[in-house]
Amino acid sequence: MSDRRLSSLRQLLVGLLLGAGYGLVCRLLFAPMNHGGKASAFYAVMSFSFIFLIPLALGFVVVWFGEVQKSWLRRIFGPWLAGLIFMVAALVFNLEGLICVILWLPIVLVMSSLGGLLAGIIHDFRASAGSKRLCVAAVALLPFVAGPLESWRDRATEIGTVHTTIEIKATPAQVWKQIRSVPRITEAEHGFSLSHKLGFPRPTEALLEGSGVGSVRFARFEGGVLFVEKVTEWEENKRLSFSIVADTKNIPPTTFDEHVTIGGPYFDVLHGSYWIEPRGADCVVLHLASDQRLSTGFNFYSHWWTEWLMNDLQAYILRIIKARSEHAA
């Protein structure tokens, strides 16, 4: 390899390492939640400043320090490798859980490309060395300036509903028996679910104490997760609705990633409803709807992921109810 190519390779590696290193340092400085369950006052991980501006600055650093010759393709896609290195390192050092990395990945790719393009455009201007150094400093420090400014504004709270359905070849009475109280789910009944592969625990049982409005269901999931569900509507063979309260005090800290803990500062499930819609003889459509609270600095993005994850979780539960109802039928 010629000296020129070796020098170019070294510069590319410098850009990649500086970009990935910048991301890791920022993750350490943007503090996690404290023991009271509240995010750091100025530098919260679940903020627009961290989620969007850190990848932008990372891509800028990669191209600024690693560009050997002008290439728009490298400016767009070059930062991706540094972003992936950063995210893998965050997993290895237990700074982030798999679910958070997966949800963040599209933003990291898009914003790092924008940062790379920005660095390339500024590089192309015939500006003085001093002004160029000022540009890289401004972009690198942007998240740390925006973080405190963002903390002065309360996070917006969004309440959304996810509605999932399934057709079941059984009578309303047979389906009602399966949704009213769910005996322990055996390993043979469990199937594949992408949300569970990403780290969400599988349901195990939902046992009912009492009957009618005011009775309580105890819905348990793997990993020690418990939801206390107080029945608010009870129409035999038709509708079952309940409020939902997560038993956050007894959920082990290793069950959920801290940023997606149900009942935490960013996400909660508030209410659930089953209702049975008859469709001819021995056939019904079972509906399951749930209301969620979302309180992040970027609800416009996290809304889509929340809806997809809840749909996947609800569809999984409905498939088990369908199998049990049709077996009973």
pLDDT in tens, 138-152: 999 999 999 888 878
Give the residue extent of every domain in the chain. Answer: 3-151, 158-328
pLDDT at 36 over 50: no
Complete DSSP assignment for 85-98: HHHHHHHHTTSS-H
* Alpha-carbon span 146 to 168, nearest angstrom: 52
When pLDDT is cut at 50, 70 and 90, the band that residue 33 belongs to is very low
pTM for this model (two decimals): 0.81
* Alpha-carbon span 160 to 145, nearest angstrom: 32
Long-range contacts of 149-157 (CB under 8 A, 24+ apart): 150/47, 150/48, 150/49, 150/297, 151/41, 151/42, 151/44, 151/47, 155/295, 155/296, 155/297, 156/295, 156/299, 157/293, 157/294, 157/295
pLDDT of residue 41: 57
pLDDT of residue 241: 97
Task: Give the range among 30-34, 41-45, 94-98, 202-206 with minimum mean pLDDT.
Answer: 30-34
Which superfamily does CATH assign the domain made up of 158-328 to?
START domain (3.30.530.20)
Task: Give the range among 91-95, 150-154, 223-227 with minimum mean pLDDT.
Answer: 150-154
Task: Give the range among 37-41, 64-68, 125-129, 299-303 with minimum mean pLDDT.
Answer: 37-41
| Contact in structure between 76 and 110 (CB atoms under 8 Å) | no
pLDDT in tens, 163-207: 999 999 999 999 999 999 999 999 999 999 888 888 788 999 999
Q: At what angle are helices 129-151 and 98-124 packed, to 10 degrees?
A: 150
When pLDDT is cut at 50, 70 and 90, the band that residue 227 belongs to is very high
